[in-house]
Every structure is written in structure tokens, then in C-alpha cells.
Amino acid sequence: TILKRVAEFNELGCPVLIGHSRKAFIGKLLGNEAADRDVATAAISALCATSGAAILRVHDVGKTVEAVRLAAAISQVEG
């Protein structure tokens, strides 16, 4: 899937934009309504950001920023 290959797209030398916020595939995987997908969106955002995505299109910026910052901090921990 595109989400699994963000790093490969990043190698093309252009900024990678991911527009995954509240999408239907999240609802199919989790069985929830669009308004209830912000936590899952934040988790996907964190994965995409650590894979090199430059731009994330989301509805709930606060949750996304928190998740991306946490993922970045974890990825920098040595040991």
C-alpha cells in the first residue's frame, strides 16, 4: 500500500503528502464512524512522519502533532 511505501516515495526527491484523515479504510479496519477516527489518524500520521512524509492532511491537528512528536522522540532513543 502507499502507506507502507512512504519511504520509497520520499526517495523521488519531492515532498510526500499523505491525506489519510478519517478515511473509509480506517472505518473498514476498525468498524467506526468518520468522526471517531482521529486517534487512528494520529497513529497513521506518526508512522508516515517517521517514514519521511513531509505533509500530513488531518482534521485534528492537536492529536496529530502529539503523536508525531512522540514517535519522533521514540525513534531518537538510543539503545
* Catalytic positions: 23, 57
Of 48, 51, 21, 47, nearest to 36 (Cα)? 21
- Joined grid coordinates for residue 61: 491537528
Alpha-carbon gap, residue 55 to 78, rounded angstroms:
26
Of 77, 29, 75, 69, nearest to 20 (Cα)? 29
